[in-house]
Amino acid sequence: MNAVMAGVIGYILMQFVIGALVSRRISTESDYINAGRKLGPVIGAFTVFATWFGAEVIVGTSGSVYEQGLRGAEFDPFGYAFALFIAGAFFAAALWRRGLTTFADFFRERFGARTERLVVVLLVPGSIFWAAAQIRAFGQVVSAVSATDVTIAITFAAVVVSAYTVLGGLMADAITDLVQGIAVIIGLVVLAVMAAGELGGFAHSIAALPASRFEVAFTDQHWAERLEHWLIPVCGTIVAIELVSRILGCRSAKVAARATMSGAALYLVVGLVPIYLGLVAPGLLPGISEAELEQVVPRLAEKLLPGMLYIMFAGAIISAILSTVDSTLIAAASLLSHNVIAILLGHPSERTRLISVRASVIVLTVIAYALAMTTSSIRDLVEIAAAFGSSGVIVCLVFGLFTRIGAEPSALAALLVGAGTWGAATVIEATAIPYTIALVAAVVAYLALASLGTSALNKPGASPTAT
């Protein structure tokens, strides 16, 4: 066993110790799903940051910036940081005050049980695909640092992720997110300092870059296409079940809002480091091909970081992956167990609910593992799943949370029309802005059904219904 692999295994064992200690305090479903609503501002901010700051940010953003300059950083970190800030400023406190256990509970309370189940159907697949992508990435990192066969490494990753997630729930996840977030920050900062040292310091390395590396204008795209590219990450982030689970786990509405916005700020600041690495990497790693763009940061680490520093960086990558995948599995399993299985079981005991959500984690991990082993383009599937469901969900959330307009028919119409419009427009490639059209269609469907419901109330003999 090489030193890097030994360090990675030691890091993973540390996560299990934390999970085991926290698991002793888990006695109810709420303890597992919402951390007993005890997350404070510091842990809350770090768990929001760590959940979003996955391996794809580190390797994906740096590779895009290497190729395109600052244009490659439009959405990561800027777009997603903006989305997290919007979620914290306008949605976090309002959702927390409703005393929800899961995000789907809001749709049941506001619109009815059928809307609740449809939201679960639309949101959970995206989380499964995303978990599959992270498990595959985890396996590939393990394979790279240990010379283990990729299939064996991915299998190992799935077992580790399943056991780690089942053990501690959201509280263990949040505490380890703090550890993982610090590891990611240290690893990236150390690498950036080493890269700057090779190029004569930060100021000199930036001053030596050609002006074209700082161009951010997108003159080759129509404004509607730019809007399309922003709407998907912003809307998808606001309704992401991983984010909402952290909001609901905070100890107060004020903490929920501040932690989310602080997590957004942390995400933006730390996200500047991969941008810097991508900007200056051509001077250290010239001639990287398009197929090798995602290897920019790993190659920089291999070239610049000796011994323990390289082990630290490998641990940072593992940290980013673990914090994302366990958050995803807990959030998806919570919806499946709390909003579907528990209802089918009638009125199960707290012990049965706790067993159900942990069993759901295992089932979803098995599905994600199967996808990780059989699919080579999981990231594309993740984007498809996220866009497919989120257009109708964001419309229902905004109208349902901030207005009294609409009831169950409005919500069902928006969810179905939004998903259907996006799916049809994407399959037949009828437009370059399928998500924008789906969003508009969902709004029209929601308001149309709300209007019909209001008209019905105005008819003689009509009885009032809740809106």
pLDDT at 467: 35
Among the listed ranges 57-71, 210-224, 269-283, 322-336, which one has the minimum average pLDDT value?
210-224
Q: What is the pTM of this model?
A: 0.88
Q: What is the mean pLDDT of residues 124-141?
A: 80
Domain boundaries, the chain: 3-377, 403-467
Which amino acid makes up residue 18?
I
pLDDT exceeds 80 at position 412: yes
pLDDT at 299: 83
Percent above pLDDT 90 for the chain: 43
Question: Of 368, 18, 1, nearest to 180 (Cα)?
Answer: 18
Q: What is the mean pLDDT of residues 73-102?
A: 92
Give residues with Cβ within 8 angstroms of 197, minimum separation 6: none
Class of domain 3-377: mainly alpha
DSSP state, residue 76: I
Q: What is the mean pLDDT of residues 323-347?
A: 89
HSE, CB side, 13 Å, CA atoms: give it for residue 205. Answer: 20
Per the DSSP assignment, residues forming a β-bridge with 39 are 250
- The tokens for 13 are 């064992």
Q: Does residue 125 have a cis peptide bond before it, meaning omega lies within 30 degrees of 0?
A: no
In the block, tokens 């790693």 appear at 285
pLDDT at 317: 76
